[in-house]
Structure 1
Amino acid sequence: MKKGFTLFLSLFVFSAIFAQEKKKEQAKDTVKTEVVNVITKYNPKIADAKKIKKNPTIKLLKKSEKKKLEYTIFSAPVASTFTPKSGVVKGIDVGVKERIYKNYLAAGFGNYTTPYIEAFIHHSTRFENEFGLSAKYLSSQDNVSRSVLNSNFSNFNTSFFYKQEDRYFHWKATLNTERNRYNWYGLPSETPYTESTISLINPQQTYNYLNLIGEFNFIDSYIDYGKISAAYFTDDYGSKEILANFNAKLDFPLSFLHLGLDDISVKASVEFLKGEFNNSYTDKNKVTYSTVTAKLHPEYKLSYKGFSLNTGLKIIASLDSENDITNLFLFPEIKIQREIIKDYLNAYGGLTGGLKTNTYKNFTEENPYVSPTLFITQTAETSNFYLGFNGKVNNNISFNIVGILKTEEDKPLFFRNNSKSDGTSNFSNGLSLLGYEYGNSFDIFYDDVKTTTIFGEIAYDFSKKITLGTNFQYDMYTVTNAITKWNLPDMQATIFGKYKSDKWYATSNIFYVSDRESVIYNDAYPSSIKGTKWLANFVDINLNGGYHFNDKFSAFLKLNNILNSNYQRFANFDTQGFQVLGGITYKFDF
């Protein structure tokens, strides 16, 4: 027992001593001298910024050090030619800034018993809306010399608009009205009319026009604008015409293709025309017309190697419900321009076409002596090719010259009606003649016409006060069915000049129109054509000017037909001789 305990105790002590030696030996072998990197997260505070007191030191490399600059000055005497002079600073003469007024009233009177009144009233508010009202009246009560019928006229036009600017779009509403009175006073010279016949002729015609327009301009939108218009036109003979149209322009983006392309603009329109005349020139049957026209015009603009290119396609569908005719037109459009000599010479050209809707209203504006018996149809411009040059010779002289080749189907030509009276009677076939049935009115003759045109213009800015210029147009016509190019001149030219100073202003115009041809009949209606009558060329010189008494009051003077020429724009319709009209203008603000 004692031996066993003694043996156990001896083994325990030996094990404890061995374990201590083992640990000491292990600690000595494993612990080494090393650099310990302690990585911890640093969260700076605003207050820590004040603790940074030293600026960083930047050391440059040897090759980046600045080199010492060594230089030597060789002085030599230079004779000075500069002699200072006393004086004042020379400024730029910008002139006196003219004050612009929003409203004005003008009134005047001239020979031929010609009263003239014009007014414009405009007002805008800080709430981004505005409205305006304008009115103009001009008449001539005395007759043209050598006219046996009344030849007086009057024009009265008014316009009212209201405009509102909103956040995403602007809109504007406009109402236009017109009342114009004329007389068919151009009796044919080849037919002698008795005094009793002339006394029973009533040549007066009055045109009434009403037009309502709504416009919308969008901001930052794919729709640029939209326009709605409705017009109503009548006369003293029961003629009626309604014209309604809608126009819009849209932009379609191509950025989604990632090709760097610009937007494609598309113009779209729908037009409705309907009208009627109580009778035709040949009988008492009504003349009616009605067309619906839809147009789509995509257009794309781009630039390439100095060329500005505009390409498009006009797609037009037209429905003539009166004649049960439907037409579809495709007119390609190309416009190109390039700078040849920078800032001095540009070349441009193109090919286009289109479909024009003729209206009774438009014909009366060009020739107020048409009869209320017209056949109305559309004119197709099948091709229009042009090539021209524009630019400037220097900073004062600019120019433009262009050649045009144009082909038109159903181009309207003014064609004089044959008289239904032999000069001794006011009746035909037992019916009383109307005021336009004495050979003193015009019909419309439609023909396919090819036109070659050369047009040129030049302007010269002589000084800040004086501008001079001229333009000319020479036309060569090829007709298909007509005997000749009725009432179309070969040559037209204009010379103009403008002068403006602080107090005085003046504008002069000299017009030249070459010979034209009109028809002559063998006898009273119905009769064949005897031949043509030449209308002589004419020169018309006009001068308009005035004097400013102050910012608000000024006087004006208009001189027309200074040469007192007795010419005719249309066959048998003499114009007034020398005309003078003077008056005053008052400008003001509310």
Structure 2
Amino acid sequence: MQNSSFNTIYTRIPLLIIVLGFSLKMNAQKKEGEVKTDEIEVWKEAKVNLPQANRIFEKISTAKIDNSKKPIRYEFTERRLPVETPEFSPVVTMPDKGSTKEDENAERYNNIIRAGIGNYGHTFLEGHAGISTGEDNYHGIYLKHNAFRLGPIGANYSGQSQNLIKVHSRTSLSALKLAGSLGWERRGFDFYAYNSQVNFNFPESQIFNSWNKFNFTGAISNNKKDAKVDYVFNSNLSYLFTHLKANELVWNASMKGVYPLTEELSALMEGNVVIAQRQDSLTLYRNLYKLKPTFQYKNDLFSISAGLNIINDREKNTFNRSYLYPVIKLDVQPLEGIKVFAGYEGDVYANNLSSLLTENQWLGRFTQLRNTRKTADYFVGGKATLSNGLSVEAKVSYARYKDFYVFNSNSTDSSRFEVMYSNDTTTVKVTTFSGQVGYQIQDIWQSNFKFDVNVYSGLGNLEGAWHRPAFNAIWTNTFTVKDKLLLASDFYMMTGLKGKNYVTDREVKLKSIIDLNFKATYLLSDHLNLFISVNNILNKSYQRYLYYPTQGVNFLGGLSYSF
């Protein structure tokens, strides 16, 4: 597609989105207490999360369905590229709608503090203090300290630390809902890549790195239940700077609106703008604009949505490209409790220094930045929800990518990673088989198993899908014993990982990751809890990234107090 055909529309679209986005100055994160430093998660693209009070959005998803029956919703999220590093540490969910007894206590008392110690010189402190001024009005502050003085090798040469503080607020007015947060996070770590020839007899400062990030998010959404038009705007402004003297400023704003034309037909509009400035050896200006108008028709048996994804990707003084992708999705509910779906779409994903560091913190200097283009994605799947608490989901996706990226060790220093992209003549194909099985016994047991099988082909100049898993799965369980003892377990598995040592010119296959974690919380009273968590119970020595082994069995114990 030629740029000239889009010049007029793209001189207006970015201005419109920017004007709308700057009216936002506050946004609550998806899980307010989790330490997720980016709106873009590792496995999924940034997307608008609609407040539950928005009635028109709800109306569209449940139009003409018997209110006595819960609508079937499949929960697959759009996964950009299959890379993830599980984080194993206790988290506290800030007061919202408690899903566990601990969260219910936090919601009831608004304030909570948790502290613990463990092996590897592990110190942990987490706290939240808030004020509720009504059902939909809340203001609070959250902080977290999570540090390991010692690491898996070289003692204090492989320690790491995380410190975070955030203030957040949500306010409900007659016509609007406002939410926002302002936070700072710092992470410190070492380039401790294992090498049998390394003797740790040099200053630890030589391999130390850290990054600091200031993050300001905001959201504004409709609060009128009977409003004709429903909408939500989100804005995220972040500034990151690293010990390696790189910094990045990113503004990511999005909007979504719905206008019902009839009882069954609705018009939807989505927009997104990502404006980034990275400074390293050079200053790099990168902008990404998206506008996606669609129409949705829904009745008792099926719904269909169709539209266009209009995208402009530009880098100052380098390139300016525009793309037009059709988007179509069909959902059919042939029987009660059963839903099948199919669709096709294309998209462009913003890759920034912030998002890449979230995936792999051991990146070296002068990281190359390119956006990844998904030129086509065909998918089909289904979900069944049974009355006995069992639910099953399945999905098959075949996608083609340009500028597909992988992580691999630097050609001159195996302790530093670089981002490698497929070249212009390469189209990478990724076939993904996804599944999920859930089972629940109300107030006693919840179990959920998810897995993905990834098949990569057409890698071209990349040679291999370095550090991307062929198979990954997670099995989580939670148990409640007499409302006093809460037990939880996580089982992670990841296989098919491999990297290449360009110094020796040899491919290295990494051992399968098998990680079992356990946590127990005993409720001494409504205010006081005793907890202990044990990670990597099987004491497996594995590497998520080449030459970076993880800790063996490690534990954390402490107290949690709600007030």
**TM-score bracket for the superposition, by shorter chain length:** 0.7 to 0.9
Residue aligning to 1:213: 217
Q: 1:376 to 1:143 in 2, by over 3 A?
A: same
The alignment status of 1:233 with 2:240, answered yes or no, reads yes
Residue aligning to 1:401: 394
Q: Distance in 2 between matches of 1:486 and 1:337?
A: 35
Aligned pairs (5 A) from 1:239-278: 239-252=246-259, 254=261, 262-277=265-280
The answer as to whether partners of 1:288 and 1:322 remain within 8 angstroms in 2 is no
The answer as to whether partners of 1:188 and 1:439 remain within 8 angstroms in 2 is no
Q: CA RMSD in A?
A: 2.3
The alignment status of 1:580 with 2:519, answered yes or no, reads no
Deviation of 1:301 after TM superposition, in Å, equals 1.7
The answer as to whether partners of 1:181 and 1:205 remain within 8 angstroms in 2 is yes
Q: Distance in 1 between matches of 2:259 and 2:446?
A: 43
Larger Rg: 1
Q: Distance in 1 between matches of 2:259 and 2:333?
A: 29
Q: Distance in 1 between matches of 2:291 and 2:416?
A: 38
Aligned pairs (5 A) from 1:108-507: 108-125=116-133, 129-145=137-153, 147=154, 150-189=157-196, 192-193=197-198, 198-199=202-203, 202-218=206-222, 219=224, 220=227, 222=229, 224-252=231-259, 254=261, 262-277=265-280, 286-304=281-299, 306-323=301-318, 325-343=319-337, 345-419=338-412, 438-447=413-422, 448-462=427-441, 464-478=443-457, 479-501=459-481, 502-507=483-488
Deviation of 1:512 after TM superposition, in Å, equals 1.0
Q: Distance in 2 between matches of 1:400 and 1:554?
A: 36
| Structure 2 letter corresponding to 1:541 | L
Residue aligning to 2:61: none
| 1:202 partner SS | helix
| Structure 2 letter corresponding to 1:106 | R
Deviation of 1:173 after TM superposition, in Å, equals 3.1
Q: 1:128 to 1:576 in 2, by over 3 A?
A: closer
Q: Distance in 2 between matches of 1:308 and 1:500?
A: 39
Q: 1:128 to 1:391 in 2, by over 3 A?
A: closer
| Structure 1 letter corresponding to 2:133 | T
The answer as to whether partners of 1:289 and 1:376 remain within 8 angstroms in 2 is no
Q: 1:251 to 1:234 in 2, by over 3 A?
A: same
5+ long unaligned stretches in structure 1 = 1-94, 278-285, 420-437, 524-529
| 1:115 partner SS | strand
Residue aligning to 2:500: 519
Deviation of 1:163 after TM superposition, in Å, equals 2.9
Q: Distance in 2 between matches of 1:386 and 1:568?
A: 32
Q: Distance in 1 between matches of 2:339 and 2:471?
A: 26
Q: 1:234 to 1:461 in 2, by over 3 A?
A: same
| 1:150 partner SS | helix
Q: Distance in 2 between matches of 1:127 and 1:306?
A: 36
| Structure 2 letter corresponding to 1:474 | V
| Structure 1 letter corresponding to 2:115 | A
Deviation of 1:308 after TM superposition, in Å, equals 1.4
| 1:395 partner SS | coil
| 1:362 partner SS | helix
| 1:481 partner SS | helix
| TM-score normalised by length of structure 2 | 0.76
Q: Distance in 2 between matches of 1:471 and 1:231?
A: 32
| Structure 2 letter corresponding to 1:176 | G
The answer as to whether partners of 2:157 and 2:204 remain within 8 angstroms in 1 is no
| TM-score normalised by length of structure 1 | 0.72
User: 1:383-418 CA deviation, whole Å, 9 max, x = no partner?
Assistant: 111111210354222111111101111122001013
The answer as to whether partners of 2:157 and 2:200 remain within 8 angstroms in 1 is no
Q: Percent identity?
A: 22
Deviation of 1:195 after TM superposition, in Å, equals 6.2
Deviation of 1:127 after TM superposition, in Å, equals 11
Q: Distance in 1 between matches of 2:200 and 2:476?
A: 44
Deviation of 1:584 after TM superposition, in Å, equals 0.8
Q: Distance in 2 between matches of 1:247 and 1:463?
A: 37
| Structure 2 letter corresponding to 1:124 | S
User: 1:458-485 CA deviation, whole Å, 9 max, x = no partner?
Assistant: 1222564122332221111011211111
User: 1:149-195 CA deviation, whole Å, 9 max, x = no partner?
Assistant: 71000011111123333333232332021101111000445xx3466
Aligned residues: 451
| Structure 2 letter corresponding to 1:315 | I
User: 1:274-296 CA deviation, whole Å, 9 max, x = no partner?
Assistant: 1022xxxxxxxx24422122211
| Structure 2 letter corresponding to 1:144 | P
Q: Distance in 2 between matches of 1:268 and 1:321?
A: 21
Q: 1:498 to 1:251 in 2, by over 3 A?
A: closer
Residue aligning to 2:51: none
User: 1:539-590 CA deviation, whole Å, 9 max, x = no partner?
Assistant: 10000111001111111111000011111111110111111101111111xx
Deviation of 1:143 after TM superposition, in Å, equals 2.6
Q: 1:546 to 1:444 in 2, by over 3 A?
A: same
The answer as to whether partners of 1:148 and 1:185 remain within 8 angstroms in 2 is no
User: 1:25-67 CA deviation, whole Å, 9 max, x = no partner?
Assistant: xxxxxxxxxxxxxxxxxxxxxxxxxxxxxxxxxxxxxxxxxxx
Residue aligning to 2:508: 533
The answer as to whether partners of 2:432 and 2:453 remain within 8 angstroms in 1 is yes
| 1:369 partner SS | coil
Q: 1:201 to 1:104 in 2, by over 3 A?
A: closer
Which deviates the most, 557-566 or 294-303? 294-303
Q: Distance in 2 between matches of 1:585 and 1:134?
A: 15
Aligned pairs (5 A) from 1:23-34: none
| Structure 1 letter corresponding to 2:146 | L
The answer as to whether partners of 1:541 and 1:563 remain within 8 angstroms in 2 is yes
| Structure 2 letter corresponding to 1:500 | T
5+ long unaligned stretches in structure 2 = 1-100
| Structure 2 letter corresponding to 1:519 | K
Structure of higher RCO (CA pairs closer than 8 Å, 6+ residues apart): 2
User: 1:423-451 CA deviation, whole Å, 9 max, x = no partner?
Assistant: xxxxxxxxxxxxxxx42010000124211
Q: Distance in 2 between matches of 1:262 and 1:349?
A: 19
Q: Distance in 2 between matches of 1:393 and 1:166?
A: 39
The answer as to whether partners of 1:241 and 1:276 remain within 8 angstroms in 2 is yes
